[in-house]
Structure 1
Amino acid sequence: ANVPVIFLAQSKNQIMPIEVEKKYRLNQKQRQAIERRMRDRSLSPSELEHEENTIYRGGRLNLGGCALRLRRVNGLAILTFKRRLPSKSAIKYQQEEEVNVGNPDAMAAILDSLGFQPALVYEKRRTRWKVDNAKVVIDELPFGLFMEIEAPAKKIKRVEKLLEADSLPAVIETYPTLTARFGKDRKGVIEARFVSEARPSGRARKKPNRR
Structure 2
Amino acid sequence: MEHLEIELKFIMPNRSGLRDRLLDLGAACTGKRTFEHNIRYETADGRLQKNNCLLRLRKDQGTTLTFKSPPPTTDTRFKIHRELEVSVGDFDAMDAILNALGYCRCQVYEKWRETWQLNDATLCLDTMPFGRFLEIEGSPDTIMQNVHALGLNWERRILSSYLAIFEILRDKAGLPFSDVTFDNFNTVNIRFDRYASLFEAGDRGGQ
3-state SS of 1:61 partner: helix
Q: Which structure has greater helix proportion?
A: 2
Counterpart selection for 1:32 from 6, 9, 16: 16
1:69-106 per-position Cα deviation (integer Å, ceiling 9, x unaligned): 000103x1100000122534241111100111111101
In the alignment, the residues of structure 2 paired with residue 56 and residue 176 of structure 1 have an alpha-carbon distance, to the nearest angstrom, of: 13
State the match for 1:145 in structure 2: 132
User: Are 1:179 and 2:163 matched, yes or no?
Assistant: no
State the match for 1:56 in structure 2: 41
Unmatched 5+ stretches in structure 2: 186-207
User: Are 1:120 and 2:104 matched, yes or no?
Assistant: no
User: Are 1:161 and 2:160 matched, yes or no?
Assistant: no
User: Are 1:89 and 2:76 matched, yes or no?
Assistant: yes
3-state SS of 2:160 partner: coil
The two structures, once aligned, show a CA RMSD in angstroms of: 2.2
Query: Kindly, what percent of the aligned residue pairs are identical?
Result: 30
User: Are 1:194 and 2:169 matched, yes or no?
Assistant: no
TM-score when normalising by structure 1: 0.76
Q: Which structure has greater strand proportion?
A: 1
**Structure-2 change in CA distance of 1:57 and 1:160 (3 Å):** same
**Structure-2 change in CA distance of 1:44 and 1:16 (3 Å):** closer
TM-score when normalising by structure 2: 0.77
In the alignment, the residues of structure 1 paired with residue 3 and residue 108 of structure 2 have an alpha-carbon distance, to the nearest angstrom, of: 25
In the alignment, the residues of structure 1 paired with residue 16 and residue 70 of structure 2 have an alpha-carbon distance, to the nearest angstrom, of: 31
Unmatched 5+ stretches in structure 1: 1-14, 198-211
